[in-house]
Structure 1
Amino acid sequence: MSWLDRLKGKGADEAQTPEDRPMPDRSTAPEGVEPALPPAEATTTASAAEPVPALEIPAPPPPWPPAEEEMRSALVAAQKGDYDTALSIWEPLAREGHGRAQNNIGACFIDGLGVEQNLELAREWLELSADSGDPVGQRNLARLCLKGLGGAQDTTRALELYRLASEAGDAPAQEMLSFLLFEGTSVPSDPAESKRWATAAAAQGIGSAMTRLGLMAHLDAVSAAPTAPDDSEAANWWRKAAEAGDPDGQALLGAAHHLGAGVPRDRVAAFAWLLRAKAGNSPLADRFFDAVRATLSPEEEAAAERRVSMAEEGPTPAP
């Protein structure tokens, strides 16, 4: 039976369990590239674009020295679009209990990369990866559980998996956990925990987490002084998010410059950021775009467009 037949057949049923070949715990998420899962729907200004399933190189500890080179070779093949070769490398490693290889097979079944799309098999392989302690596998399985893809919807299990991955240092999981706890729709709201995980994700450069921290700061400022909130902390987070490339952060920074909320009033800077947010498909940009544009002279509008053009070459559009 070929490796491909084994993947398409019983799938995870034939793989060894983590107890058969345990993987040591890892405290940080490895680096790498990821194939796509459907992004999380943007529901509010605190929306999180859920990062996609990962084809990532682990930082292999003993007793896996041979696996490092094999995983590296598989990743190179996948980056070239040669998923047939990548899967042939991951399959035996996955059956030996290698959590990241199990995750990568699951990711391929999600998107039909080198195999026919099969969400049920994807979920089986991701269950193995999660049980092996791989934080990326935990995060990707959480996504399937949250949406009811490849099996029953299970928000309790999803929240548990996002927590496990977050505690292991996986930044996208931290961001998604913060989003869920902030929204309070799929799981109970917990603002303090949401802020904790948003802060952790922001420290790892996740722009949407910075945007949410700005929104939290804004809500705190409004609660403290409803008629004259101090939005300086909020605007500072939105600037960080905007400079990190988050479209919603760019939209909110543009609005802040338009209103003079926490930053100097600057119509050109406001429109420049809104132009970037609109190009990034932020739904928030539409709320302010026409109103800000109506305040500009043709010369100011042209100046904002020049700032955006310059930003694409390096500088940011706001002073």
Structure 2
Amino acid sequence: MAALIDRIRRAIRPAPALAEQLALADQAARRGDHDAALAIWGPLAQEGQPEAQTRVGMCFAEGTGLGRDPALAFRWFSLAAAQGDPAGCRLLAHAFFRGEGTVEDPARAAELYRQAAEAGDAEAMDMLSWMLTEGEILPPDPAEALRLAEAAAAVGNAAATTRLGMFYHNALGVARDPARAAGYWQKAAVMGDADAQAMLGAALLLGTGIARDPVMAFVWLLRGHAGNSPLAYPFLQRAAAALPPEEQGRARRLAGMPPDGAAP
């Protein structure tokens, strides 16, 4: 009888909790099994679950597991954002900013970035910080831009960490502090941000805020250039010229590149 009761209990086991379902779908997506992920996200999105709606929108935006369709991505992001999902708000802002699946509307994008940032989305904080620094879409506000960058960097956002370095390098609302700038770039460079790698390389080449190190300067500039940072190229030839061929080769090996290549 006990065995029968145990079988009945297993048969009527409740469905996994929402968080567990989303975690299983995310795990499937990370290993490249988008069909399995969508088998979970799809029904949840149809039922109105905002996080699942955001993820389905991402599949349409990126063409992963589904054909790329910016208009459908926009639809799903809109549904998620209407329910206050921070990632949905941020991705809907991206769509308005780039004009993907909808008309380009930078002002509406800024509103949505702010909504997502206020809900704690680090990428939205960084984007809003950029807007407040550039002053083209929103009135410039260096103090608020700095605050947002600091908040995003505090939770590990690499781009915001790089931006903090720029604040201290260019004295944007703060006193110029090359050492602090280099420290932020060093942190973000290790996190893989290509612009930070380029700026760290330039700082090491020039000895600005950090001890001069021509080999590591070339290492980081190579990495930044490989990551498509436009900030690296102006310094690459100068960094290469500062090193004899054997040191260039060593730097290339440290950067994970063929040791006999010419400087880009």
Measured against the shorter chain, the TM-score band is: 0.7 to 0.9
User: Does the alignment pair 1:269 with 2:222?
Assistant: no
Q: Aligned to 1:193, which of 133, 141, 144? A: 144
Bigger radius of gyration: 2
Determine which structure has the larger helix proportion and give its number.
2
Offset at residue 281 of structure 1 (A): 2.1
Q: Aligned to 2:187, which of 240, 262, 279? A: 240
Does structure 2 retain, via aligned residues, the 8 Å contact 1:120–1:150?
yes
1:1-319 equivalences in 2 (<5 Å): 66-220=17-171, 230-309=177-256
Task: Name structure 2 gaps, 5 residues minimum.
Answer: 1-14, 258-264
Does structure 1 retain, via aligned residues, the 8 Å contact 2:159–2:188?
yes
Q: Alpha carbons of 1:132 and 1:279: their partners in 2 closer, same or farther (altered >3 Å)?
A: same
TM-score under structure 1 normalisation? 0.68
User: Matches of 1:97 and 1:69 in 2, distance apart?
Assistant: 17
Q: Alpha carbons of 1:82 and 1:305: their partners in 2 closer, same or farther (altered >3 Å)?
A: closer
Task: Name structure 1 gaps, 5 residues minimum.
Answer: 1-63, 311-319
TM-score under structure 2 normalisation? 0.81
Give 3-state SS (helix, strand or coil) of 1:282's partner: coil
Aligned partner of 2:261 in structure 1 is none
Q: Supply the AA of the counterpart residue of 2:235.
A: F
Give 3-state SS (helix, strand or coil) of 1:137's partner: helix
Q: Alpha carbons of 1:264 and 1:156: their partners in 2 closer, same or farther (altered >3 Å)?
A: same
User: Matches of 1:221 and 1:181 in 2, distance apart?
Assistant: 11
Offset at residue 81 of structure 1 (A): 4.2
Give 3-state SS (helix, strand or coil) of 1:172's partner: helix
Offset at residue 254 of structure 1 (A): 1.4
Does structure 1 retain, via aligned residues, the 8 Å contact 2:167–2:173?
no
User: Matches of 1:157 and 1:167 in 2, distance apart?
Assistant: 15
Offset at residue 305 of structure 1 (A): 3.1
Identity, % of aligned pairs? 50
RMSD: 2.6
User: Matches of 2:47 and 2:72 in 1, distance apart?
Assistant: 17
Offset at residue 96 of structure 1 (A): 2.9
Offset at residue 267 of structure 1 (A): 1.6
Of stretches 180-189 and 257-266 in structure 1, the one that deviates more from structure 2 is: 180-189
Offset at residue 71 of structure 1 (A): 2.5
Q: Supply the AA of the counterpart residue of 1:259.
A: L
